[in-house]
Structure 1
Amino acid sequence: MPLPAGDSKYVECREVRGDVEILQDLGKSIRRSRELTCQLYSGYRGTGKTTELLRLKDDLEKKNCFVVYFAADVEDISTQDVQYADILLACTRHLLAHLKQANSKPIADWLSDRLQDLKDLLLTDIKLDKPLTIELQIQQFAKLTTAIRTEPTQRQKIREKVEPHTETLIKALNEFIADAQQKLPNGKTQLVIIADNLDRIVPIFRDNGRSNHEEIFLDRHEQLKALNCHIVYTVPISMIYSRWATDLKDNYGIPKVLPSVMVLYRDGSRYEAGITKLKETIKRRIEPYTDLDLETQIFESKEVLEQLCRMSGGYMRDLIQLAQEAINRTDQLPISAKAVQRAIAEVREVYQRAVEENQWQTLAQVHKTKEIGNDNLHRSLLFSRCLLEYRYLNQKGEKYTWYDVHPLIWELPKFQDALKQSDDT
């Protein structure tokens, strides 16, 4: 689960993530820019992006920004099937809900013009001759986004009704935002939208070879940037590492990526600082419940604990899941090497199922070279977390990025066979 800003369980990992720091990388751009910004933020699902974005929200709010944050997949979109109109409707809904003091007549007028077309889909009984209050507007946009998220049969029908009118909705939203900017509470001076969990949108490839990711973040980039406020969108990591990387940079600025915590150097030697951060993460999670020593009383030895940390690959979600699985297999502390090994085996089996037959050789090649190719095969492996990204700074302060196979995959027979075949050729 993401940690709220200021949570005592949070561990600062900047130094083991290649000097990545969201308050500097995104926050300063928002506060210092003379123009409105639209930025992309990415990373593996479960690597800690939401925790970092909540930190960003808290920091911006302390510095006179009014932040509208929402996790899009909770109430607004189905990650299995997303189009641009879905995101625009979600932004509209949350702006209305957070800025009730603003004049929402432009959006009410837009919605009134659409209600005749949408009334059967919304099952609405609103009288069109009565003004739409802001509460009714929120209610109707909530119905739209809920239907898009949960009802596949209604999803496309709603899009067909809304899509021809997205430009007029953007215009109405900007009129609403202009009024809201004059009425921000408590001395706030800037409006910021953070649309989280768009990185979870599943890639769907069309017959022409292009993906829905490209349709949303490239084809519709002008519309995504069109709202007159600062915006942060999360974006699938596979999109960052595509042939469209320079287009994303030109359209949005350099996308910011939250990598995994480095637990090994490129040559396979132990990276002590990374292991220490992962141990601290586990310690912070259990501190509210016990004061037992982590390395001798919670786990049976330092070596057992560090084995669990290494096998996580520095991927935070797997670190927590491995620890939880080991605890579930323990009736009495300390957690044994056997319990940790069983936990590793359970999660490893999940990764084995995630790898397709034509991907083993690709994994073996990345493991040897620590580099990835710019193709859909490598992007798919990044999206599934079978490949992990790491960053570090050398003594000159230069940043290096490298990739490796998730350590849980290393001992799988098919991966070992692929390595052997790679060596033979």
Structure 2
Amino acid sequence: MQQNFALLKQIYNTFDPFRPLPAGDPAYVDCKEVRGDGDILVEVGREILYSDRITCQLYAGHRGAGKSTELLRLQKYLDDQGCFVVYFAADKEDIEPEDAQYTDILLACTRCLLEALKDNANPEPLLTWLKDRWHDLKDVIPNVSLEGLSVEKEIPLFAKITANLRTEPTLRHKIRERVDPHTTTLIAALNQFIEDAKKRLPDGYSQLVVIADNLDRIVPITQEDGRSNHEHIFLDRSEQLKALDCHLIYTVPISLVYSNRATDLRDIYGSDAQVLPMIMVQTPDNQSYQRGIDKVKEVLQKRISRVDSNLSITDMFEQPETLQQLCLMSGGHVRNLLLLMKEAIKYTDTLPISKKVLQRSISETRITYRNTVYADEWLALAKVYHFKQIENDERHRNLLFNRCILEYRYRDADEQIQCWYDIHPLIKGIKEFQDAFNQQFAPE
């Protein structure tokens, strides 16, 4: 029993869905052939390398689809090409996704650039800005005085500001009130710092790139003017988002990419947002797509091989059909795949995993999706399942954001990208969905 416990614990932890794979990790699986043939190194990376101007690009996709893993690959690729890359996951230290605004993002960029480049550039412009604002900010960073502080002690104050933005709701609003009127001067100071840094980058580096990850997790909120916070951040404040004098990549909520402002995004940022779709595990006519399923199995196998190279993902299941069902029920969504696998292992005392155990993990996860959907959304989901398309309205955007609707892509015989949508496979087993579908589409 102890041996079983130790092995199952190792397997359980190798399927952790909240740790993006670092660049070069042997568990990485290239899935572009079943994701519409998109490649972040080409679509985003070469835009930076080939362009003779500063670029600002948007990267989108469902949360948990694997964007962070792809961005870490991009970071390594750009680093190898002579770009000094400052990557940060904004929700880890700097922003609160449930309540985020543009000012929070600017302060996060400031903190990360300052910490990454403080030894390569003169931070004086930013410290001068902080001193000029100190009268307004000193009560939101309690028990700190600038008098007599060295540069090394002053720099961490930006980290304290962003920490308070993330963890203290009361201070969050105070900080915004006091910083927001001065974002123009903060951008100017930050650009002075960036310009100095670009002249003193370490040997072998010629360009500076900032990747702000996890901004796609900012929860959509309708503001007093009837527009969403996503529009306020990525459209109304786009000039400020683009204003930093270095190459920029921001993750953006997928629901905004498919809003009626999509063309505005393209016009403002100069290109369409690059989207990471699901792994296509089934076709638009509801047939299993074996190439995609095999890729999903490869994702699982490479994780298992971390524990023991002799372990086979097929042998871990009592029946091959059970593994096939796991792949289909994930919808090609990597995080859901790993979560379902973890749940199945949790209910397993000894390998192989039985069909009953997998059904239990599916049932547990299905409850979460059932609780996510509002009563008036079941009919919309039934229509998406039937037509494989979405309507351009707030309801469908929210369902995209909540991963109840998933996006898939493939290239047709003419090499044209075809984009289609489906509901998450777990939703198909929910009674409310079945009732709505039968009511709308059942033959008479």
Structure 1 length normalisation: TM-score? Answer: 0.98
Secondary structure of residue in 2 paired with 1:332: coil
Residue number in structure 1 paired with 2:323: 305
1:29 paired to 2:47? yes
Matches within 5 A, 1:25-424: 25-100=43-118, 101-128=120-147, 130=148, 133=151, 135-252=152-269, 253-290=271-308, 291-295=310-314, 297-423=315-441
User: How much has 1:145 moved relative to structure 2?
Assistant: 0.3
Query: How many percent of aligned residue pairs carry the same amino acid?
Result: 55
User: How much has 1:211 moved relative to structure 2?
Assistant: 0.6
CA deviations on 1:342-395 (whole Å, 9 max, x unpaired) are 111111111111111010000000000000000000000000000000000012
Shift in CA distance, 353/127, structure 1 to aligned 2, threshold 3 Å: closer
User: How much has 1:44 moved relative to structure 2?
Assistant: 0.7
**Which segment is superposed worse, 119-128 or 258-267?**
119-128
Q: Which amino acid aligns with 1:369?
A: F
Secondary structure of residue in 2 paired with 1:263: coil
The structure 1 segments of at least 4 consecutive aligned residues displaced by more than 4 Å after TM superposition are none
User: How much has 1:301 moved relative to structure 2?
Assistant: 2.1
Q: CA RMSD in A?
A: 1.1
User: How much has 1:124 moved relative to structure 2?
Assistant: 4.3
Query: Partners of 1:109 and 1:99 in 2: how far apart?
Result: 17
User: How much has 1:300 moved relative to structure 2?
Assistant: 1.4
CA deviations on 1:137-196 (whole Å, 9 max, x unpaired) are 431111110000000011110111101100001001111111000100022000000000
Query: Partners of 2:143 and 2:94 in 1: how far apart?
Result: 19
Secondary structure of residue in 1 paired with 2:429: coil
User: How much has 1:313 moved relative to structure 2?
Assistant: 0.4
Query: Partners of 1:365 and 1:288 in 2: how far apart?
Result: 42
Query: Partners of 1:125 and 1:375 in 2: how far apart?
Result: 48
User: How much has 1:327 moved relative to structure 2?
Assistant: 1.0
Query: Partners of 1:292 and 1:90 in 2: how far apart?
Result: 43
Query: Partners of 1:328 and 1:103 in 2: how far apart?
Result: 52
Query: Partners of 1:125 and 1:397 in 2: how far apart?
Result: 60
Query: Partners of 2:163 and 2:155 in 1: how far apart?
Result: 12
Query: Partners of 1:362 and 1:113 in 2: how far apart?
Result: 53
Query: Partners of 1:98 and 1:380 in 2: how far apart?
Result: 36
**Which segment is superposed worse, 361-370 or 337-346?**
337-346
CA deviations on 1:390-419 (whole Å, 9 max, x unpaired) are 000012211000000100000111111000
Secondary structure of residue in 1 paired with 2:234: helix
Q: Which amino acid aligns with 1:251?
A: I
Given that 1:17 and 1:258 are in contact with CA atoms closer than 8 Å, whether structure 2 keeps it comes out as yes
Given that 2:366 and 2:426 are in contact with CA atoms closer than 8 Å, whether structure 1 keeps it comes out as yes
How many equivalent pairs are there? Answer: 422
Q: Which amino acid aligns with 2:129?
A: W
Task: Point out where structure 2 has 5 or more consecutive residues left out of the alignment.
Answer: 1-18
CA deviations on 1:216-244 (whole Å, 9 max, x unpaired) are 00000000000000000000110101010
Shift in CA distance, 137/240, structure 1 to aligned 2, threshold 3 Å: farther
Q: Which amino acid aligns with 1:112?
A: K
Q: Which amino acid aligns with 1:154?
A: L
Secondary structure of residue in 2 paired with 1:391: strand
Query: Partners of 2:150 and 2:263 in 1: how far apart?
Result: 44
Given that 1:108 and 1:132 are in contact with CA atoms closer than 8 Å, whether structure 2 keeps it comes out as no
User: How much has 1:207 moved relative to structure 2?
Assistant: 3.2
User: How much has 1:132 moved relative to structure 2?
Assistant: 5.3
Q: Which amino acid aligns with 1:300?
A: E
Residue number in structure 2 paired with 1:4: 22
Query: Partners of 2:225 and 2:241 in 1: how far apart?
Result: 23
CA deviations on 1:67-123 (whole Å, 9 max, x unpaired) are 000000000010011111110000000000000120111111101101121111111
Given that 2:107 and 2:158 are in contact with CA atoms closer than 8 Å, whether structure 1 keeps it comes out as yes
Query: Partners of 1:254 and 1:125 in 2: how far apart?
Result: 45
Structure 2 length normalisation: TM-score? Answer: 0.93
Given that 2:23 and 2:69 are in contact with CA atoms closer than 8 Å, whether structure 1 keeps it comes out as yes
Task: Point out where structure 1 has 5 or more consecutive residues left out of the alignment.
Answer: none
1:14 paired to 2:29? no
